[in-house]
A and B are shown apart, each in its own frame.
Chain A
Amino acid sequence: MNSLRFGFVTGPLLGGAWMFIVTLSIAVTMSFATGQAFAPDLGRSLIWGAVTGFALVLRHNQLILGGLVLSIFALSLLPYGPLNIGSDVVLISTSIAGLLVALSHALPLYFILLGLQFGALNRHEFETAIIRMLMGFGYVFFTAIVLIPFYVMVMTSLKSQSELLQNPLDFSLDLSKGWGLLRSYHELFTDFNFGEYLWTSFYISVLTVLITLAFSIPGAYSVARLRFRGRSTFSRSILLIYMVPMIVLALPIYIAFSKIGLRNSITGIVLIYPVTTIPVALYMLQGYFRALPSEVEEAGLMDGLNRLAVIWKITLPLSLPAIASVSLYVFMIAWNEFLLAFMLLDDPSKFTLTRGIASLNSSEIPRQHLMAGSVIATLPIMVLFLGIERFMTKGLTAGSVKG
């Protein structure tokens, strides 16, 4: 490690590594955006990266920075840049790619190498630079891995089967089609009953939330506040129930529901969903209730309210944010639930959204329908989530590690 701790070694090394990360990401981005041939050139990106790193360690000023941006851009056009660009790629794409590489390499590198001298470095300077580069890598990496599947999902739903087979990378949209782009969505709603599935999923989820709250609020309150024998055993068993896998329960439930005729009915689903969420909700809510100051409730008791009135008039209004986040979380579980819906529902008129998507997974139905269905299922939960993200984040950390 010590031999690396010289500016003239660290700079080029970080420069090379950063250049390769940048080139790879830009190549992937450009390929996904245009469907044309972009590939990183390992050798050239390492060399040009090292050169820029060396230059920035030698003289760390904006003049050098500007010069580097220009020269990388020029090299990309020549084409001796870090990107291997196919010969059939039009000039405008080439220049955009070149410019992107130049800017997203040089500007961050300027900050990564900030404060790095040419000669020997102390441990602090060296590690700071490394960490800056790792952070840069992290942002690029996470954004890419999260976005790519969703990007593919949305774009596939807007294309046709033959276009996809021709060039799986080409996600560019033919905007001249206008509303025709949304054909799969239109077909799902008209021919595949998705409007109804959406509604079924929605009201099942809402009912699940309501039933779960009705059961878990009193339960959580009594575990959090009231003294009774067996309280600690009880709060532990909640955790244990939390851990029984659904597949183990699904088999007897399937048999029982077949016997009593609840299989293939929405009633059966509404009966079973809340039970999967009650332990989670109970566990989360008891945490919140414990955190509420008990003095307020005691004041209510002194003033002559009974316990139930205290819960209704004092505890519930105080814990509304908590209840909102628990509701959201339960809604999300019910909305996304797949296993039980898949096992218990066979009749297409009673499908939930997830079950409906599963039924699209056949070789006769084009792939874009499957993806359009996925988008329809994902979009509401995302919108809900992003809109009230703060609640959700709190709710998730409050007590659930359930997957």
Chain B
Amino acid sequence: MTENSPNRGLPKSLGPLARREEHLAWALLLPTLCAVALVVILPLMAIFWISFKPIELADLRAPVPIVKEDLRGALQTIGDEAVLRYRLRNSSQSEFIRDVTLRDKWPDGLEALSLDSRCTISSWNLVCALGDWNGGHREKIQITVKARKEFVFENSLKSSAPIMTGDATSILTNFEFTTKNFVRIFDAAEFFNVLWVTFFYTIFGTIGALLVGLFAALLLNKSFKGQSVLRGLYLFPYVAPVIAVAFAWILLFDPFSGSANSLLLQMGVTQQAINFFGERPLALIMVTVFEIWRYFPLSFLFILARMQSIDLNMYEAADMDGASPFQKFWYLSMPQLMGILSVLFLLRFIWTFNKFDDIFLLTGGNAGTRTLTVNVYEQAFAMSNIGAGAAVAVLIFCCLLIFSIFFLKFFSREEGL
């Protein structure tokens, strides 16, 4: 602070007004902060946790005791006898359940002639303490009952379902850790292939969308009739649901009944149908082209907005100096557009890197198009190895952290944030 600064001599602490403003600000931000913490920060921590866990898709369902209740014999009139059966089993073949109990409502007017030693009946409640169960445990509890009253099984016994409880430790919450997941994803021969595909897709997808968007913006950077119609039209690929356009592309490029193939055949470009989304390396090129097609509207929109704010006097001056159209574009427009182009490049780079839906829908990650994000899904769901999927997700997150640091450095300069 210099000597002449107006803030000189002001108290360091906040005044009451400023403090109230600060409190209000945090109060207004609180709901958002909570929501973000719950759905972004917490899952991010969870994914780090899971990535060190030997966990498979099947482990997500914690083992539970399962019961089926039925009655053998009929209880039609007073004095009828029958056998009430509870068939019990452990839902898991391998996991252990502690302190299993069975509870059921005991109907009024029903007498138990023989009762399992582990069970008690008191105040119309049946409680059985069944102890610990190993994986794959099965048993039956049979109770011979006698009707004391007019008693209809369907109404009284079936109306209350038996409740089973038991403690099972879940792999998610215990302290068993492993680095197997990371070893597994780094070890696989395909890992470097995945990495290469990811960067090919990201870099060419981003640059392609930028260049095509720049071209489209140049086309529409003049007012003519129908300009706004064309502008709306060129945004279609971005606005339409990805699932709709992805399936339209699949259909269009289908090797057997696709229009693109029959067009190429008819024009004599190719002699036999091309499997656009099923062959290496064509599939990778196709998904990149799809990415460019779907996202050029976005860069086009931003570049156009920037172009329309360029001062026209500059071009008049250039005209006076006899600059040719290409010179005007290269030496006048381009430097003005460099800012938005680089911001777009960085943002799109990160977003293309994160892209999952497009490739997943087009090829499912087959034919050499498996990127890191698709690999998360493949590992976690197709191969049922949640831990390995989480490990890939952690890797993605680390890459993004690096990009973001770079990005923030650049962006704060560019946007003055």
Contacts and interface: CB of A to CB of B under 8 A. Distances in A.
Contacts of A148: 252
Given A152-B252, A241-B40, A403 B295 contact: yes
Contacts of A218: 28-29, 31-32
Contacts of B243: 336, 338, 354, 357-358, 374, 377
Query: Which residue, of A240, A338, A353, A370, has the highest number of chain B Cβ atoms within 10 A?
Result: A338
Given A27-B267, A31-B266, A216-B32, A243 B241 contact: no
Query: Which residue, of A32, A124, A335, has the highest number of chain B Cβ atoms within 10 A?
Result: A124
B287 interface: no
B248 A371 contact: yes
A27 B257 CA distance: 19
A168 B44 contact: no
B404 A247 contact: no
A71 B234 CA distance: 35
Contact of B35 (A156, A227, A275): A275
A153 B40 contact: no
Q: What band does the interface of chain B fall in when counting residues whose beta carbon is under 8 Å from A?
A: 35 or more
A248 B219 contact: no
A373 to B, nearest CB: 8
Contact of A219 (B32, B251, B407): B32
Interface stretch (A6-14, A131-139, A318-326): A131-139
Nearest to A165: B257
Contacts of A149: 237, 245, 248-249, 252
A244 B28 contact: no
Contacts of A234: 29
Interface stretch (A58-66, A72-80, A104-112, A378-386): A378-386
Nearest to B244: A374
Nearest to B381: A343
Interface in B209-262: 215-216, 218-219, 228, 230-237, 239-245, 247-249, 251-252, 254, 256-259, 261-262
Interface in B99-117: none
Contacts of A294: none
Contacts of A374: 241, 243-245, 247-248
A22 to B, nearest CB: 15
Contact of A401 (B25, B325, B351, B360): B351
Contact of B325 (A131, A146, A147, A168): A131
A243 B400 contact: yes
B40 A127 contact: no
A401 B263 contact: no
Interface residues of A, number: 104
Interface stretch (A49-57, A186-194, A389-397): A389-397
Contacts of B266: 31, 37-39, 169
B35 A215 contact: yes
Given A138-B215, A226-B24, A251-B376, A244 B240 contact: no
Contacts of B251: 152-153, 156, 367, 370-371
A259 B42 CA distance: 15
Contacts of B275: none
A396 B234 CA distance: 14
Contacts of B231: 389, 393
B5 interface: no
Contacts of B354: 243, 245-247, 403
Given A168-B259, A215-B35, A386-B232, A239 B408 contact: yes
Interface in A190-232: 214-216, 218-219, 221-223, 226-229, 231-232
Given A139-B219, A216-B32, A245-B396, 14 more contacts: A27-B267, A131-B326, A142-B219, A143-B230, A152-B248, A152-B252, A226-B25, A248-B393, A251-B376, A274-B35, A275-B35, A275-B39, A377-B241, A382-B239
Interface of B: 18, 21-22, 24-26, 28-29, 31-32, 35-36, 38-40, 42-44, 46-47, 50, 60-61, 172, 215-216, 218-219, 228, 230-237, 239-245, 247-249, 251-252, 254, 256-259, 261-263, 266-268, 293, 295, 298, 301-302, 305, 322, 324-326, 343-344, 347-348, 350-357, 360-361, 373, 376-377, 380, 386, 389-390, 393, 396-397, 400, 403-404, 407-408, 411-412, 417
